[in-house]
Amino acid sequence: MLIDAHAHLNFHAYKKDREEVIKRCQNMKVINIGSQFPTSRLALELAKKNQNMYASVGLHPVHVLEQERDKNEIKEKIDMSDDEQLAGIRELLKSDKDNSIVAIGETGLDYFHIKTDKHSAEEIKQAQKDIFIKHIELAQEFKKPLMLHCRDSKESSWEAYQELLSIVNSQLSIVKSGMIHCFSSSVEIAQRFVSLGFSIGITGIVTFPNAGELVNVVKETPLDRLLTETDCPYLAPQPVRGERNEPPYVEHVAKKIAEIKGISYDDVITAVETNAKKLFNI
């Protein structure tokens, strides 16, 4: 069965036809990822309503200190501080008696979208790190894996990834496992995450002609540490690149992984399903 380990059917981009998209996902499993309190709450609602859907809840680093707004994600302005959003997310976790929530995040560091009109870059980076550590504590408290996001600025060579790794390293006594979603760094950094017990999420970027290093990452990462994801509505793979993405398109990611590793498509599907079951218990 196909797995989309990181989707956002909870986002505004699906407001008009969400039910139709969900129908097209009947023969697969989907984890919808919250990025703020309201999208986390909706991810949980979708999981409660659909047997093949699960939720991850968290405050995305691009929203820490009200940095980024994206109309694909949520239309209205959210009148909650970061701490209020985290408190709301904690309430969702407490209310979830049947383990519809399978991970904490997305959380991590994003140095790509930093806007310095209200705060300095250093203040923003520190705030992202503080919020990330609070997610690690939630993961420990509720015994869930982490759903990590990491993106570097255009100028730096893996600064955000290095700092994320060093935070994970410093919290190893409480960090158990997780997935680093939409992996976009080097083979060496992928191997460090794998050695810390993490799985690597591969998006449609791997199907792009300029995928470059990501192809090597797939080649070098053991099959039992790979997960397939869309990050929909973003990052639609070839041959639907440029369209609004949706979970069934994850098949193009699985096909590309099979091609890179020189194994069958069915072997990729089976392995990813086993990996998702082990990590998220789905």
Tell me which residues touch Zn ion (CB under 5 A): 231
Shortest distance (Å) from residue 232 CB to Zn ion: 9
112 versus 265: smaller Cβ distance to Zn ion:
112
For residue 187, give the amino acid letter: V
- Between residues 11 and 193, which has the closer beta carbon with respect to Zn ion? 11
Least CB distance from residue 149 to Zn ion, whole Å?
A: 6
Helices (H), 96-248: 121-142, 159-170, 187-195, 213-220
Dist. CA 22–CA 14, nearest whole Å: 10
Determine the residue type at 266. D
CA distance 45 to 65: 26
Min separation Cβ 58 and Zn ion, Å: 10
Nearer to Zn ion, 72 or 157 (CB): 72
Query: Coil, strand or helix: which one is 153?
Result: coil
Residues facing 146 on adjacent strands: 104, 178
Q: Which is nearer to Zn ion, 193 or 234 (CB)?
A: 234
Q: What SS3 state is found at 30?
A: strand
DSSP string over 53-101: EEEEE---GGGGGG----TTT-SSPP---HHHHHHHHHHHHHH-TT--E
Closest chain position to Zn ion (CB): 231
Nearer to Zn ion, 71 or 97 (CB): 71
In degrees, to the nearest 5, what angle opens at C-alpha 108 toward C-alphas 70 and 178?
A: 115
CA–CA dist 255, 263 (Å, integer): 10
Residues in the chain: 282
Nearest CB to Zn ion, comparing residues 96 and 231: 231
The answer to whether residues 173 and 193 touch, using CB atoms and an 8 Å cutoff, is: no
Residue closer to Zn ion (CB basis): 72 or 120: 72
3-class DSSP state of 203: coil
| Nearest-approach distance from CB 177 to Zn ion, in angstroms | 19
Nearest distance, CB of residue 262 and Zn ion, angstroms: 29
Contact between 190 and 214 (Cβ < 8 Å): no
Interatomic CA distance for residues 6 and 9, integer angstroms: 10
**Pick 70 or 159: Cβ nearer Zn ion:** 70
Minimum distance, C-beta of residue 122 to Zn ion, in the bound complex (Å) = 25
Q: How far is the CB of 33 from Zn ion (least distance, A)?
A: 5
The nearest distance, CB 11 to Zn ion, in angstroms, is 9
